[in-house]
Amino acid sequence: KQCDFLILDYINQLDLGNAHGENLATSLGHAMKRIKDLAVEENIPALVIAQMNREIEKRNDNYKHKLSDLRDSGVLEQAADVVYFINRPELQGNGKGEDGESMVGIGTINILKNRNGATGTTKFRYNTHMTRISDY
């Protein structure tokens, strides 16, 4: 009972092995199940960070994420209770929001899946000089 929070940064770097001839998706599914079982057993939250695939770079709306933007998305979508993407439009050369507001110093969290709550988008402010985020 010495661990209060599990963070895995990032799941795509796990050496999943292939001892049983499983494909990557199956191995990833087993790893996610073990991580989730551990979190439930220890009664702690688990944050698993995953890589995005490159398809998003080919779209014009690369700041509007989809669950399929996750690399090996099917397995991750199934296992996750919550899936969200963090975006800082300013870094992508998009200094204006959809309503024309300045997005300099403003980021978004897009919650695409939430088993026990709402989905949607929320904004936050960030200060790059202090590596700090705060309420919008």
pLDDT for 7-18, tens place per residue? 988 777 776 666
Say what the pLDDT of residue 33 is.
Answer: 85
Whether 4 and 49 share a structural domain: yes
Of the residues 80, 95, 116, which one is the last residue of a structural domain?
80
Bridge partners, 102 (sequence order): 96
Q: pLDDT tens across 44-96, in order? A: 999 998 888 777 777 776 567 888 888 766 778 888 899 998 888 888 777 77
Residue numbers of the domain that contains 14: 1-80
Distance between CA atoms of residues 94 and 74, nearest Å? 29
Shared domain check, 108 and 94: yes
Q: Does residue 123 share a domain with residue 56?
A: no
CB–CB of 67/73 below 8 Å? yes
Checking phi first, is residue 101 left (phi over 0); if not, alpha (psi -120 to 50) or beta? Answer: beta
State how far the Cα of 27 lies from the Cα of 98, in Å rounded to an integer. 40
| pLDDT over 60 at 107, yes or no | yes
Last residue of one domain, picked from the residues 43, 64, 80: 80
- The structural domain count of the chain equals 2
pLDDT of residue 16: 67
Look over the chain and give the mean of its residue pLDDT values, rounded to a whole number. Answer: 82
Q: What is the CA radius of gyration of the chain?
A: 17
- Whether 75 and 89 share a structural domain: no
pLDDT at 21: 66
Q: 23 vs 110, which has greater pLDDT?
A: 110
Model pTM score:
0.76
Token look-up 């990032």 returns 10
Cβ–Cβ < 8 Å for 82, 115: yes
Do residue 85 and residue 71 come from a single domain?
no
